[in-house]
Amino acid sequence: MRLCPFCKKTLNDDSNFCEVCGYSLVLALPILALPHKKLSLLLACASIISGISACVFSLFPVLYWTSFPLVILAIGLAGVTLETVSGKFDTLLIKILAILGLAFGILGYISFMFLRSNVPGIGYTM
């Protein structure tokens, strides 16, 4: 009996792939040294922090332009996290945190675009 290098489930000695995650043991590729859960959790938390920071920074005129790179960072980290944990069954909390970070990133983008914009208000007249 051996362990799958990706999901750590017990495998038969004659199996060519993992029955749980589908990892091919015939065409085995090197995997990251860090476990996917810890790295993904770190990325999801970083996306939440970046998204919240972007929302807060867009409220202050001095820090207004700092919020846009944070928006890009939050959305990017959330996307990378969701791509990393897609297809894995035991990462529901990480997926929820990544979606929360994505939502804060989008909210930060909306507040960046519309909160301090110079567009006239509703009621455009000719």
- Block means of pLDDT (10 residues each) for the chain, 126 residues, are 77 78 66 65 95 92 88 95 84 91 94 73 49
pLDDT at 50: 96
| CB-based burial label for 13 (10 Å; 0-12, 13-18, 19+) | exposed
CA atoms within 13 A on the CB side of 92: 2
Predicted TM-score of the model (pTM):
0.65
